[in-house]
Structure 1
Amino acid sequence: MKVTVILKENNRDLFSLAEENTFYLDSIFTDPKTSKLKNSIVEHDIYSFLTKKKDFKLCPNDLIGDFSNIAIAVYAIDQTCNRAKFGYYGWSRYINLHIPVYNCKKWNDVKEELENTLSFLSGDKWILNFRECLEPFPNFLTSAFSPKKVCLFSGGMDSFIGICDLISKNDSLATVSHHKGGNSGELSLQKKITTQLSENNKTKNILPYNFYVQGKKNDILTGEKTQRARSILFLALASLVANTSSKTTSIVIPENGLISLNLPLTPARGGSHSTKTTHPKFISSLNTIFKKIGIKNMIENPYRFLTKGEMLTKVNSNKFVIENINSTLSCSKPGYYEQWTSKSDIGIKKQCGHCVPCIIRRASLYSNGLDKSDEYVKNVFNTDEKYDDYNAFKIAIGRFSNVEKIKLTFLKSGHMNISENEIKKYIKMYDRGLKEVRKFILQK
């Protein structure tokens, strides 16, 4: 069942389609207060950052503006379009996007590549229809803050380590976070950690951008939990900040290689059932598209060849990191239990303890002598309960018993614009990462 999404250039944009299951949203350059859409499929605060007069002011160029509009449309429908209802066999959806852009020819030149990149990311069929914007690109005032680096910050352990590394080498840094509301507590956690970072680095300039973007459900779009396309929004938000700094300021994704590859732990988790948020194929494809259309703010992951434990070992001498690592949230199920229903978060266990990120987190801490089971809601070594991801890791340890088996599964992702040497590094890293998890699991 096809779903159509139309992004409006502005309040004067009359483009529409009389098709079933057609939904609308505004450009990020439209003031939400003046919107004429009654049933937009997204709400956000991006416009407020574009119109600020002091700190946090954004002034991207037209190419980044185009990319951000594409990304927010992708994110909005990915979050709201239920796979069980609209997906083929309850999974892969057919999504048709109509996007006004300021650089129509450039985007049409990479149309097929971008469609394939989105399909790899989310496991859906994406059709992109670009039309030329009818009015000039908005003229934004320039921003005074020009950070040396822009780093994604989810509030997780990897991003915390990444920021600490970057701020030790640079005098200015912008962190980019995204929150959706709800009971996960992600915004308060992100603010708490960035405040700690600023207090610990008083001679450095750290500017934390906390963006709010949330898909809006309705009677037809009832919501989707998989979040396969969230990373493209995250990168678009970071690109707005990086491009404001300069045309060449890079975007840093601090993510360990084991999570980035995210090879299916069991055969049933293959294909689109495994997230590809920072997979090298996705990142290299997006960087290639950027180069072709003229975006110079490249995406980089300096930890792509390191396991999570190795990332922690690398900064083990940093007392601040070790003392505050428990403030970070790696869990993919925040709010899954009732740990967020209390009025106070003092002593509350934030991590579920049994999802894939929690197990990798515990394994990395265990390898550095820092693991404590009582800091999680559930202990995976509790034999009275069955934990799917814990058992999946046991299967994966046997399934990927040597590097050749890892290589075969890795290459099933298809062509990647990376060297043979990089492929070898990824495979060796994954082998080390799985052994890290194996060591943790076999302790009992």
Structure 2
Amino acid sequence: MKLLCAPAEVRRLNEKEFLRVVLYGQAGADDRGSAGAAVRADIRRARLAPTRKAWDLLSIALSVMAADAAGRRNLSPDGWTREFDLEIAVAEPTLWNELADLVTDALAFLTTDRWRLRFIAGGAAPSPPAEHIRPPENAVVLLSGGLDSLSGAIDLAASGERLVAISKTVRGDAEKQVEFASRIGTGLRHFQLNDNATVPGGDDTTQRARSIIFLAFGVLVATALRPYNSGGALPLYVCENGFIAVNPPLTGSRVGSLSTRTAHPYFLTLMQDILDAASIGVKIRTPYATKTKGEMLRECADQLLLRKLAGRSTSCGRFQRFNYRHCGRCVPCQVRRAAFLAWGEDDPTEYVYEDLGRDDPDYAGFDDVRSVGMALAAVKDGDFEQWLGSALSWPRLDQREALKDMLSRGLAELGTLHAHYGVK
């Protein structure tokens, strides 16, 4: 699939061999896509002045989001792997063409697709507002509305970090993002941004690329902070528990479509390579890479605040599908429920499917519940290494043994959950 992703000022609007995606504007025709229609106005309204390279990274991320939505996996030869050929307008095309292989490697790992990228001129970053500001905070934290990002941000604020919170606006989570930011510490400076990626013909629902836009929003704001211009690398915190970040395939059948890599340590290493090669002074930090979700909750520095807010957070992979309620049976819901048990606090979350022990296709027989049960059975039989398989085989993974231990503890938390409900 070929896409040309550029602002409307790049006057190539009717080249039929491409899906034309208008960056930072409206599509203007039914056969075009668009992405980032509001984000430049949002940043200008906030009187921020991000760097040109950060704007270029955002343009790349917006283009990837549009491609991810447009490419239909069911139309690919193998029913999954897509091929993308993108031309993307940036302010510094020479630099990004030199880095194209790094970017495609990261995207290939993230989405399990094949990518070809070519960067063209015409994506000039907007001029900074005449009265722009340089906020004094010295770190950025991604605040999704999820339980991990909530717990992590509470922890970081309690440790004395001066944080700016960045949220990707998602229906059902926007209000809680605002609430969380306002109640952490003395209140965090908070920006909610949206890619607004739309394409003709509907969206692919697998959304494997979604973390790249979240990171790009974080980098964009990070480069506008006062300490960024003082040299060094400004921290960008990704607060995800290690079990979900690695997301080991629970069974052999879950290696592809059911194992996302949005916060995988290898993907974040590749993203850091891109930032370093582009001389963007932002350091991605994952302080909970070797922690389970239960350990994150149990060790959070402000237990009172976490208890007040935890039930409002979102973990479910099907939250919108169930009318903004947790299903209770998907893998993220099971990890959440296991974490509350490990924490030792009552779980106030209302789950659509509460009693996982009920022996029918909606509960214990549901694919995700059964997959967790199969993983637990394999480990119980003494085959932890065999179950783990190639989950940690990727190069340049720091703390490999610590990650292995964390995955074992994460499975144990899930085992306690299944035992609690009598799942067989």
Say yes or no: TM over 0.5.
yes
Q: Deviations over 1:82-126 (max 9, x none)?
A: 2113x2322111111101222223222221121121011011111
Give the corresponding residue for 2:368: 389
Asked whether 1:40 is paired with 2:16, we answer: no
User: SS of the residue aligned with 1:191?
Assistant: helix
> Cα offset for 1:440?
1.6
1:192 to 161, 179, 194: 179
Give the corresponding residue for 2:11: 14
Contact 1:7 1:73 in 2 (8 A): yes
Amino acid at match of 1:112: D
User: SS of the residue aligned with 1:190?
Assistant: helix
Q: Deviations over 1:116-149 (max 9, x none)?
A: 210110111111011234x864331332323222
> Cα offset for 1:232?
0.1
Contact 1:25 1:37 in 2 (8 A): no
1:59 to 34, 49, 67: 49
Amino acid at match of 2:127: N
Q: In structure 2, list runs of 5 or more residues that go unmatched.
A: none
CA distance in 2, matches of 1:57, 1:381: 53
Q: 1:427–1:337: structure 2 CA closer, same or farther, 3 Å change rule?
A: same
Q: 1:442–1:196: structure 2 CA closer, same or farther, 3 Å change rule?
A: same
Contact 2:268 2:284 in 1 (8 A): yes
Asked whether 1:163 is paired with 2:160, we answer: no
> Cα offset for 1:255?
0.2
Contact 1:23 1:41 in 2 (8 A): no
Give the corresponding residue for 1:418: 397
User: SS of the residue aligned with 1:126?
Assistant: strand
> Cα offset for 1:227?
0.9
After TM superposition, list the pairs within 5 Å mapping 1:127-276 onto structure 2: 127-133=116-122, 137-141=125-129, 142-170=132-160, 172-181=162-171, 185-197=172-184, 201-202=185-186, 206-218=188-200, 221-245=201-225, 246-247=228-229, 248-276=233-261
Give the corresponding residue for 1:26: 22
> Cα offset for 1:263?
0.8
Asked whether 1:69 is paired with 2:44, we answer: no
Asked whether 1:328 is paired with 2:305, we answer: no
Contact 1:104 1:131 in 2 (8 A): yes
CA distance in 2, matches of 1:327, 1:333: 16
Give the corresponding residue for 2:389: 408
TM-score when scaled to structure 1?
0.85
User: SS of the residue aligned with 1:78?
Assistant: helix
RMSD: 2.3
Contact 2:249 2:391 in 1 (8 A): no
Asked whether 1:434 is paired with 2:411, we answer: yes
CA distance in 2, matches of 1:24, 1:129: 15
> Cα offset for 1:17?
7.4
Aligned residues: percent identity?
27
CA distance in 1, matches of 2:268, 2:8: 34
> Cα offset for 1:282?
0.2
Q: 1:387–1:320: structure 2 CA closer, same or farther, 3 Å change rule?
A: same
Asked whether 1:367 is paired with 2:342, we answer: yes
User: SS of the residue aligned with 1:41?
Assistant: strand
TM-score when scaled to structure 2?
0.89
Amino acid at match of 2:255: G
CA distance in 2, matches of 1:136, 1:40: 20
> Cα offset for 1:179?
2.2
Contact 1:257 1:430 in 2 (8 A): yes
User: SS of the residue aligned with 1:334?
Assistant: coil
Q: Deviations over 1:332-379 (max 9, x none)?
A: 1112224x5xxxxxxxxx311011111000101111222448731112
Give the corresponding residue for 1:345: none
CA distance in 1, matches of 2:329, 2:346: 14
Q: Deviations over 1:139-198 (max 9, x none)?
A: 3133232322211111011000011012112363211111244xxx1212222332333x
Q: Deviations over 1:297-330 (max 9, x none)?
A: 1211100010001101102762111122111111
Give the corresponding residue for 1:347: none
Q: Deviations over 1:383-417 (max 9, x none)?
A: 233321111001112334455336532244x32x3
CA distance in 1, matches of 2:193, 2:4: 23
1:378 to 353, 356, 373: 353
Contact 1:80 1:215 in 2 (8 A): no
CA distance in 1, matches of 2:378, 2:196: 38
Give the corresponding residue for 1:344: none
CA distance in 1, matches of 2:50, 2:302: 38
